[in-house]
Amino acid sequence: MQLSLPTDADPRETAAARIGELRTQIEYHNRLYYVQDSPLISDAEYDDLFRELQALEMQFPDLVTPQSPTQRVGAAPLARFAAISHRLPLLSLENSANEMETRDFDLRLKKTLGLAVEQEIDYTCEPKIDGLAIELIYTDGVLTTASTRGDGFTGEDVTVNVRTIRSLPLQLCGATIPSLLEVRGEVFLSLEAFQRINRDKEESGEPPFANPRNAAAGSLRQLDPRITAQRPLSIFCYAPGVVEGAVFTSQQGFLGAIAGWGLPVNPLVRHVRGIEQAIALYREMQVQRESLPYEIDGMVIKVDSYAVQQELGEKSRSPRWAAACKFPPRQAETVIEDILLSVGRTGVITPVAQLRPVEISGVTVSRATLHNWNEIALKDIRIGDSVLIERAGDVIPAVVRALTEKRSGAEKELPPPTHCPKCGSELVQIIDEVAIRCMGLICPPQIRRSIIHFASRNAMDIEGLGDKCVEQLLSLGLVKSVADIYTLTKDDFMRFERMGDKLAGNLLASIEKSKRQELWRFVFGLGIRHVGEQTAKALAQAFGSLEQIEKASMEELTSIRDIGETVAQSIRTFFENRENLAVIERMLKSGVSPTVKRKKVGGKLTGTSFVFTGALSRLTREKAQLLVEDAGGSVVGSVSKKTGYVVAGEEAGSKLVKARELGISILSEEEFLTLLDQEEIA
C-alpha cells in the first residue's frame, strides 16, 4: 500500500505527523475497546487506521518506534528467558478461607495498631483475578521491562510477550507522569479466550489447559512471542513498586492515578469502611463471579492508607496489611452414565465422562474430562459411579473423586481401549508416556494435521498445499490419507474456490516434484511420534532405503546415535501398523521414490555430532547445520555423553549447562567457523 503524500511539504515530515496522529488514535481506541469495553468505531474502521499506519511505517521504516501499536505483534523466538531481580519483592498474600478468618484478620490489625474493636479501618477491596502476577517498569512513561513474579525476588523477563497485550499501553498518557513507575498487575485470559485455546488444543490432540490461570501462564511464558500474540491476554494493574517522581498516600489514590495514565484497573475495585462492609462486598462478588467474563477465585482486602500499611509492615513472605479472601470451590454431585472415547488430531485417546446433567453455578454440565487411564485408575472411577465434579472455568469440568461409599455393586470398570474407535487401528502406549495413541495414517481426526505436516516445507515441501488447500480437499472428499495427494488431478483442484488454471498446474507440478524428495524428508513427513528431522536424517543415513527402515529391529534402531528405546518403539509400532504400510505402498505405486543423499565419507567431521544453543550472529541454524553435514558430521537436538561439540551463541541455555556438567567441548561461533576453516563467512 503506497500512500501519496502532499507534494508541497517534506514527505518524511508529513508522514511523521500522520504517524503520530494514527498512533494516538489507535491507542485511544485500544483503550476504549479493551479496557472500557465501549468502542466508538467499527472493527473495519479500526483496521483501516491500523493498515494506514503499517503502510506509512513500511514507507518510512526509520520512523518505527518500539511504542508503535504495530510493534505489539510477537518478535522472533527466544532461546530462554533472562532473569530479572525485583527492586522490591513481590510478596504472596495470606489466605483467609472463610468470613470468620477474615474477621480475625481485621482484629489482628486493630491489635497491632492499638485500635479498639469498635473502631473501623478503611479498606480497598479488589476481585482476586486467577492469573499470573507480573511487574511492569515504565521509564519516563515508556514500557521498558516486564517480568514475572518468580520466587518473589527474581522473575523472568517477559517484556516481548507482555507487549502483545492490547489493553496495556506501551506509553503512558497525561500529565505528571513519574520518571520511574514500577507497577504490579495480574495477567489473565477471559473465559471465552480460554475456551477457544482449549478447543484448538483438543482438536490438535494436545492436552487442554486445566484452567484459565495455567493457560495465561503458559501463554505469557512462551519462548515464541508470536504464539503469545495469538492468545488475547488481558491485564489489571493493582499495586506500586518503586516510584520516582510521584507520591501516593493511599491505594485508592494510586489506582486513580494509574488509570488516568492509561493503565487498566479493575472497575470492580471498591473502597469500604470497616470489615463488615468488606464482608458484604465479598458476598456480592461471590454472586457476581458467575456473570464475569473472567475467573476470580476470591477478593483481596487491603488497608487503604499507605502510611498505615507501612506501620503494619510485612512478614517474610506476605504483607500484614492485606489478605486474600478465597471463595469456596464450585462443585456438584452427579452420576457417570458412560465413558466415551475422544480422538485428538495427534491420535491421543482421551476418556470423557458422560454425566447425568447437573447444574453448577448456573451452567448445565453433562461432560467431564477424565484425562487418561492412569487418572481413572488413580481415582478408581467406574461407569455408574456417583462422583463429585468441579467447574473452575474449564471447557470440560473435571471429576474430583468417585463417591465410593455410594456404590451398589452394579458399577463397571472400563479397561483401556485396544483399538481406535475411529479407524480401528491398534492403539499403542509409548514407553514413559501416559497417553494412549492411534498412530494410523488413515485415522479421520488426524488426517488434516497429517497432510499439512507431510506437505510442509521441512518435510515434502509441496508448495501451495497449505492449511486452506487441505481444508478444501477434505471438505470436497478428495483425500482420506496422504496417499490421495498423489492421485489428485487438475480437475480436482479446479473445483476449489478462486482456483485458476495456472495455480492448479503449479500445485500439480509441486506434487510431482515431491515424488523425488530425499528419504529423510519422506520419513519425517510420515509424522511418526518422536521422529523429528534429525532422527529422520539419522535413519536415512543408517539404513539407506525405506524398505530397510521398515524392517529395522529394536536392536538395530537403538544402535543409532541418539535413538533410545522410546523412539525405537515408536518407529517399530508405526511400521507394524498394516494400514500405515498400505498407505505407504499406495504412494510408492503412485511414483513416490525417495532418494538418499549419502553423507560425505572421510570428511573432517565424520562421526562427530554437534549441538547448537543460543543465538548465532553470523550464521542461521540452517546454514550452520549444512556446514556440519557437508563436512561429514551431524547435528542433534540434545546434549549427551556422545556429543562431540556444543556450539554456544548468545544467551545459551540449559544445553550449555549440561555440556559443562558432562565435560563436552564447548565452542564459540568463531571457534566453530575456525574448526571448519570458514572464517570468511559473512
φ/ψ of 475, rounded to 5, equals -65, -30
Catalytic residue among 110, 111, 128, 422: 128
Asked whether 610 and 628 are in contact (CB, 8 A), the reply is yes
Other beta carbons less than 10 A from residue 116's beta carbon: 6
Asked whether 386 and 333 are in contact (CB, 8 A), the reply is yes
- Between the two ends of the chain, the Cα-to-Cα distance in Å is 33
φ/ψ of 332, rounded to 5, equals -155, 160
Asked whether 137 and 144 are in contact (CB, 8 A), the reply is yes
C-alpha cell at 84: 530479572
Q: How far is CA 13 from CA 4, 171, 218, 479, in A?
A: 13, 22, 43, 55
Rounded Cα–Cα distance for residues 235 and 233 (Å): 7
φ/ψ of 586, rounded to 5, equals -65, -40
Q: Residue 623 catalytic? A: no
Rounded Cα–Cα distance for residues 39 and 301 (Å): 32
Rounded Cα–Cα distance for residues 366 and 344 (Å): 20
Rounded Cα–Cα distance for residues 360 and 364 (Å): 6
For residue 458, give the 3-state DSSP assignment: coil
Q: Which helix (H) or strand (E) holds 632?
A: none
C-alpha cell at 648: 554456544
CA Rg, the chain, in Å? 30
Other beta carbons less than 10 A from residue 530's beta carbon: 16
Could you give the residue numbers annotated as active site? 128
